Amino acid sequence: MAAKKYVCKVCGYVHEGNDAPSVCPLCKAGASEFEAVKAPKKGLDTNSDIYAILYSVVVVVIVAFLLAGVSSALKPKQEANIELDKKKQILASLNIKNQADAAAVYADVIKADPIVNVEGKEVAAEGGFAVANDAINDTNLPMYVAEVDGAKKYIIPMTGNGLWGGIWGYLALNDDCNTIYGVYFSHASETPGLGAEIASDKFQSRFPGRQVYRDGNVALTIVKKVADEAVEVNAISGATITCNGVNDMLQRKLAPYKAYLDAQAPVVEAAPAEEAAAIVEPATADAEAQEKVEE
Amino acid sequence: MGLFSKKNKEALNTPLFKENPVTVQVLGICSALAVTSKLEPAIVMGLSVTIIVAMANVIISLIRNTIPMRIRIIVQLVVVAALVTLVSEVLKAFAYDVSVQLSVYIGLIITNCILMGRLEAFAMQNKPWPSFLDGIGNGVGYAMILVIVAFFRELFGSGTLLNYPVLEKIGMYEIGYLNNGLMLMTPAAFILIACIVWYQRAKDKSLQE
């Protein structure tokens, strides 16, 4: 900023320097013809430190208030949407999709949302819907009991990790507490066309009819090559890590419900001999046996 | 100056072809790779970027004379980030299904270099209306490339278009066609964008370096 500007009054030549030149290089006019020019000021010096600091503070405060205001104003509406979306997802696991009034259908179909624990005891008869995903643990396991066409269905919520972000879903079981009635998977940010395909009907339609538990463990897995039709599901090629994430989620989230589901399953007499032979763990033999019975 | 004077039309038109943000300015490549394996997210992303570039351009253009030069990038960033957050909040409240579909993409818009590029190169020097047109032009130019790339990737990679099984319907699988897995991977987007760049430069000699 040290250099001042001098303009020649004769020809308009602008000279930069601390003093006016003795002779104008264009029109040869003398130093007296030069006039100092003041830097054009727009009232405020937008380059000063104070201005920059104040400006950033003001901008940030305005933006903060704007966002906070909008966020709190829209929050009730957003939460209602999230709740409705959760209901839609639960219904989707029962293969009820694209309902105009999902809330009414939900109220009609879902009969109870108990909270159970890992020992198979019911902790609370209702309130499962309100349990946040990160509050789910062995003593706080929410689930849903639905009634579709007169038959009871049990729905288990699941959360896990995919390749890029969270994945989640709901798995609906028939009243034998082992055969899958329907599933719903979704994801936050899996690769479109690959991992994101877990959310597609094409993938989800591979599940119904498969069994979840065998020999007291979660046997349901997604594999490259299906060898055992009863518990294995075809994976999505190119989406190995997402599929591994789904496997991990099934394994971790379905196991704690085993005890409760066993207690709910209707007792069926005498399993067919060849299938009963496959059962190794005597403690769960009863439950296992009737799970194997074909419908 | 009319609303659609020659200069304003230029602001709108040149980004579509001659100054296309993806193929000529080489901006926004990262998102062009990420969201083009399916047609639907590509369209949605193109639309959202168009809207947000246009809005950010107008806002920055309105306050361009007050912004201190030394912190201009930060100010631009704050405006873009605020705008994106705002749009995503509004979508969550009034169009929840759309916001679920957009999910990650809406956040990705902040990091889209087209935004910063246009704010810095155009909105800082121009009046709001031309800036708005420039934003629309660049957004559409970007969306166009995305849609072209996504069209080929979804068609040859998944055999569908907007999830409609096109190849199955016209019997491509019966004559032995197999879905090309490479098309779903990011390299395919590079190859396709390169093909578009090639075509464009072969057509318009002035773009060749």
pLDDT at A35 over 80: no
Q: Is residue B57 part of a domain?
A: yes
pLDDT tens digit string along A2-19? Answer: 567 777 777 878 777 777
Among residues A182, A188, A14, which one has the least CA distance to residue A109? A182
pLDDT tens digit string along A164-180? Answer: 889 999 999 998 888 99
Q: Quick check: B82 and A71 CB within 8 A?
A: no
Q: B72 touching A, CB under 8 A?
A: no
Higher pLDDT, A221 or A36: A221
Q: Quick check: A77 and B94 CB within 8 A?
A: yes
Spell out the long-range contacts of A105-114 with Cβ–Cβ below 8 A and sequence spacing 24 or more: A109/A146, A109/A147, A109/A148, A110/A144, A110/A145, A110/A146, A110/A155, A111/A145, A111/A146, A111/A147, A112/A144, A112/A145, A113/A142, A113/A143, A113/A144, A113/A145, A114/A142, A114/A143, A114/A145
CB atoms near residue A189 (< 10 Å): 19
pLDDT tens digit string along A118-132? Answer: 888 888 888 888 888
Measured distance CA(B37)–CA(A191) in Å, rounded: 8
Q: How far is CA A169 from the centre of its chain?
A: 10
pLDDT for res A157: 92
Cβ contacts (< 8 Å) between A42 and chain B: which residues? Answer: 65
Q: B168 touching A, CB under 8 A?
A: no
User: For A82, phi and psi rounded to 5 degrees?
Assistant: -65, -40
pLDDT at A96 over 80: yes
Q: Quick check: B71 and A63 CB within 8 A?
A: no
Q: Quick check: A70 and B89 CB within 8 A?
A: yes
pLDDT at A280 over 60: no
pLDDT at A285 over 70: no
Measured between its terminal Cα atoms, the distance across chain A in Å is: 90
Q: Quick check: B96 and A66 CB within 8 A?
A: no
Residue B110 distance to chain A (closest CA, Å): 15
Q: Quick check: A255 and A277 in contact, CB under 8 A?
A: no
Count contacts between A and B (CB, < 8 Å).
79
Residue B146 distance to chain A (closest CA, Å): 14
pLDDT for res A290: 46
pLDDT for res A3: 60
Residue from A77, A82, A184, A201 whose CB has the most chain B CBs within 10 Å, to mutate: A77
Q: Quick check: B47 and B143 in contact, CB under 8 A?
A: yes
Question: Among partner residues B70, B92, B154, which is closest to A52 by beta-carbon distance?
Answer: B70
Cβ contacts (< 8 Å) between B78 and chain A: which residues? Answer: 59-60, 63
Q: What residue ranges of chain B have pLDDT lower than 50?
A: none
Question: Among partner residues B35, B79, B85, which is closest to A192 by beta-carbon distance?
Answer: B35
Question: Among partner residues A59, A67, A81, which is closest to B92 by beta-carbon distance?
Answer: A81
Q: Quick check: B71 and A55 CB within 8 A?
A: yes
Q: Which residue of A has its CA nearest to B69?
A: A47
Among residues A255, A217, A250, A247, which one has the least CA distance to residue A141? A255
Length of chain A, please? 295
- Residues 6+ away with beta carbon under 8 Å from B42: B35, B36, B143, B146, B147, B149, B150
pLDDT for res A293: 45
pLDDT for res B65: 86
pLDDT for res A286: 47
pLDDT for res A167: 92
* Interface predicted TM-score of the whole assembly (ipTM), two decimals: 0.70
| Domain span including residue B144 | 20-204
Q: Quick check: A55 and B68 CB within 8 A?
A: yes
pLDDT for res B103: 65
Residue B164 distance to chain A (closest CA, Å): 13
Tell me the range of A92-96, A243-247, B4-8, B112-116 where mean pLDDT is highest: A243-247
Q: Quick check: B89 and A55 CB within 8 A?
A: no
- pLDDT > 90: what percent of chain A? 19
Q: What is the mean pLDDT of chain A?
A: 81
pLDDT for res A279: 46
Q: Mean pLDDT across the stretch A111-115?
A: 88
Q: How far is CA A198 from the centre of its chain?
A: 13
What is the CATH class of A4-37?
mainly beta
Q: What is the pTM of this model?
A: 0.65
Q: How far is CA A144 from CA A111, A121, A249, B152, in A?
A: 8, 15, 18, 43
In total, how many domains does chain B have?
1
- Residues 6+ away with beta carbon under 8 Å from A188: A162, A164, A165, A166, A167, B103, B104
Higher pLDDT, A230 or B99: A230
Kindly report which listed range (A9-23, A50-64, A202-216, B126-140) carries the lowest average pLDDT score.
A9-23
Kindly tell me the sign of the dihedral angle through the C-alpha atoms of B113, B117, B123, B124: positive
pLDDT at A1 over 60: no
Residue A210 distance to chain B (closest CA, Å): 26
Question: Among partner residues A77, A78, A192, which is closest to B38 by beta-carbon distance?
Answer: A192
Q: B5 touching A, CB under 8 A?
A: no
Q: Mean pLDDT across the stretch A255-272?
A: 74
Spell out the long-range contacts of B199-207 with Cβ–Cβ below 8 A and sequence spacing 24 or more: B200/B17, B200/B20, B200/B23, B200/B24, B204/B17, B204/B18, B206/B18, B207/B18, B207/B24
pLDDT for res A291: 45
List the domain boundaries for chain A.
Answer: 4-37, 89-292
Cβ contacts (< 8 Å) between A71 and chain B: which residues? Answer: 89
| Strand stretches in chain A, DSSP E | 4-8, 14-17, 34-37, 110-112, 115-116, 122-124, 141-142, 144-148, 151-161, 166-173, 180-187, 213-214, 217-218, 221-223, 232-234
Question: Among partner residues B68, B96, B103, which is closest to A51 by beta-carbon distance?
Answer: B68
Q: Mean pLDDT across the stretch A232-237?
A: 89
Residue B66 distance to chain A (closest CA, Å): 7
Q: Quick check: A238 and B153 CB within 8 A?
A: no
Q: B41 touching A, CB under 8 A?
A: yes
Measured distance CA(A158)–CA(B123) in Å, rounded: 47
Burial of A103 (0-12, 13-18, 19+ CB in 10 A): middle
Q: Quick check: B184 and A77 CB within 8 A?
A: no
Residue A2 distance to chain B (closest CA, Å): 19
